[in-house]
């Protein structure tokens, strides 16, 4: 999730656990620090763009590592404020603030390696977008109330914020499962038996959902809003680059992307250069993570390291489309050529 959300969650957890045993500002401050610490790994350069992506949310997000770090941080905080008698309470508060960070990240689609150093499996439920005001605002309101209201009313507001945000996560999983069933039925109706199906929310909400289905040779993208008047999904069909995937299957970078994305990737070539794209984040034709692997000669000589090829959507088109599509208006995503093959569309 975004940094503001993690700060708000850490603060809310800190205040909830510490209560009035210490000043609310101390609990909020150190909860925010603990909620931010795991993301400092973003400043580590692992040598190339693909490693930087796949090594983010690794050891710094591991439950084992954060559990070891919690008493150290609690010892520093309790000594700093002369509250040695509250060491165990600070330990609990900061441990929860630390581990709720990766647990919340796991609700997004990116991939969080919770079990490092024992496993590098990237966990990702994918039921919330990385920025979602419906989750974040209750936390912020609760923390502000706890800081401003000195009575137990402030703590009650903080608790209410945590409860509402948690219920929103539960709602997101339920909505995701509902849309998954609709997507599977739509694919079956169109005669498609996918190898994989990804159902994840469009930006900033859990009403409009983006769907990606993969086959050995293609990937299909569709959108479904809970406000749609029909359960029939229109899918746009795109080539995955099957021949290139087979040819470069042993390339360590493509193999790493295949594992990290759980198979939701494509490979393409342009101007003599090879590209690998994470299909989970962004939408056709602009994706958050697309990497330039260089030319055949550069890869063979080891002279090229993968670089990120930035693909930015036109927000002047994307945001109005998002709002109108969320409300159930059937519209093709901006930037997708009209000639793109479609399944599920009404005959012209």
In a 13 Å sphere around the CA of 100, the CA atoms on its Cβ side amount to 25
Q: Which pLDDT score is estimated for 314?
A: 86
pTM, full prediction: 0.93
- Rounded Cα distance between 150 and 47, Å, is 49
Q: Which residues contact 151 (CB under 8 A, 6 or more apart)?
A: none
CB atoms within 10 A of CB 75: 15
Closest CA relative to residue 227, chosen from 206, 208, 199 = 208
Q: Which pLDDT score is estimated for 188?
A: 94
Could you tell me the two tokens for 6? Answer: 């993690």
Closest CA relative to residue 69, chosen from 43, 47, 91, 86 = 91
Tens digit of each residue's pLDDT (9 = 90 or more) over 179-200:
999 999 999 999 999 999 999 9
CA 332 to chain CA centroid, Å, is 24
**For residues 155 and 12, is the Cβ–Cβ distance under 8 A?**
no
Q: Which pLDDT score is estimated for 348?
A: 42
Q: Using a CB cutoff of 8 Å and minimum separation of 24, what contacts does 205-209 make?
A: 205/129, 205/132, 205/134, 205/326, 206/127, 206/128, 206/129, 206/132, 206/134, 206/168, 206/171, 206/172, 206/175, 206/176, 207/326, 208/322, 208/325, 208/326, 209/175, 209/176, 209/179
Q: Which residues, listed in sequence order, are joined to residue 266 by a DSSP beta bridge?
A: 277
Tens digit of each residue's pLDDT (9 = 90 or more) over 133-160:
999 999 999 999 999 998 889 999 999 9
43-57, 147-161, 306-320, 334-348: lowest mean pLDDT where? Answer: 334-348
* Residue 346 predicted with pLDDT over 70: no
* Residue 347 predicted with pLDDT over 70: no
**For residues 344 and 235, is the Cβ–Cβ distance under 8 A?**
yes
Closest CA relative to residue 221, chosen from 315, 313, 284 = 284
61 confidence band (pLDDT: 50, 70, 90): very high
**% of the chain exceeding 90 in pLDDT:** 86
Q: Which pLDDT score is estimated for 274?
A: 95
Closest CA relative to residue 223, chosen from 190, 199, 245 = 199
Q: Which pLDDT score is estimated for 123?
A: 97
Closest CA relative to residue 268, chosen from 256, 260, 277, 257 = 277
Tens digit of each residue's pLDDT (9 = 90 or more) over 272-304:
999 999 999 999 999 999 999 998 888 888 778
Q: What is the 3-state secondary structure (H, E, C) of the chain?
A: CCHHHHHHHHHHHHHHHHCCCCCHHHHHHHHHHHHHHHHHHHHCCCCCHHHHHHCCCCHHHCHHHHHHHHHHHHHHHHHHCCCHHHHHHHHHHHHHHHHHHHHHHCCCCCCECCCCCCCCCCECCCCCCCCCHHHHHHHHHHHHHHHHCCCHHHHHHHHHHHHHHHHHHHHHHHHHHHHHHHHHHHHHHCCCCCCEEEEEECCCCCCEEEEEEECCCEEEEEEEECCCCCCCCCEEEEECCHHHHHHCCCCHHHHHHHHHCCCCEEEEEECCEEEEEECCCEECCEECCEEEEEEHHHHHHCCCCCEECCCCCCHHHHHHHHHHHHCCCCCCCCCCCCCCCEECCCCC
């Amino acid at each position: 999730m975004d940094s503001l959300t993690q700060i708000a969650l850490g603060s809310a957890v800190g205040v909830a656990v510490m209560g009035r045993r210490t000043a609310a500002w101390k609990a909020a401050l150190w909860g925010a620090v603990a909620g931010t610490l795991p993301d400092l790994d973003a400043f580590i350069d692992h040598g190339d763009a693909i490693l930087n992506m796949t090594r983010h949310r690794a050891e710094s997000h591991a439950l084992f590592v954060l559990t070891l770090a919690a008493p150290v941080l609690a010892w520093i905080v309790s000594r700093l404020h002369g509250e040695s008698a509250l060491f165990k309470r600070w330990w609990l508060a900061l441990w929860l603030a630390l581990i709720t960070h990766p647990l919340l990240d796991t609700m997004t689609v990116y991939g969080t390696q919770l079990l490092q150093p024992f496993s590098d499996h990237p966990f990702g439920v994918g039921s919330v977008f990385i920025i979602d005001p419906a989750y974040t605002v209750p936390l912020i309101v609760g923390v502000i109330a706890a800081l401003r209201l000195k009575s137990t009313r402030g703590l009650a507001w903080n608790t209410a914020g945590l409860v509402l945000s948690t219920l929103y996560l539960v709602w997101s999983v339920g909505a995701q499962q509902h849309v998954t069933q609709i997507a599977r039925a739509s694919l079956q109706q169109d005669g498609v038996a996918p190898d994989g199906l990804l159902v994840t929310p469009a930006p900033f909400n859990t009403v409009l959902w983006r769907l990606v289905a993969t086959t050995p040779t293609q990937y299909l993208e569709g959108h479904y809003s809970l406000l749609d008047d029909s359960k029939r999904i229109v899918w746009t069909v795109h080539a995955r680059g099957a021949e290139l995937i087979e040819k470069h299957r042993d390339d360590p970078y493509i193999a790493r992307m295949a594992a990290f994305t759980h198979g939701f990737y494509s490979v393409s070539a342009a101007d003599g250069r090879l590209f690998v794209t994470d299909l989970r984040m962004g939408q056709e034709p602009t994706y958050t993570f697309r990497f330039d692997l260089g030319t055949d000669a550069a890869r063979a000589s080891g002279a090229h390291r993968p670089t990120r090829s930035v693909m930015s959507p036109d927000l002047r088109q994307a945001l109005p489309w998002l709002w109108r599509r969320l409300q159930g208006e059937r519209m093709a995503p901006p930037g997708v050529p009209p000639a793109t093959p479609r399944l599920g569309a009404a005959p012209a």
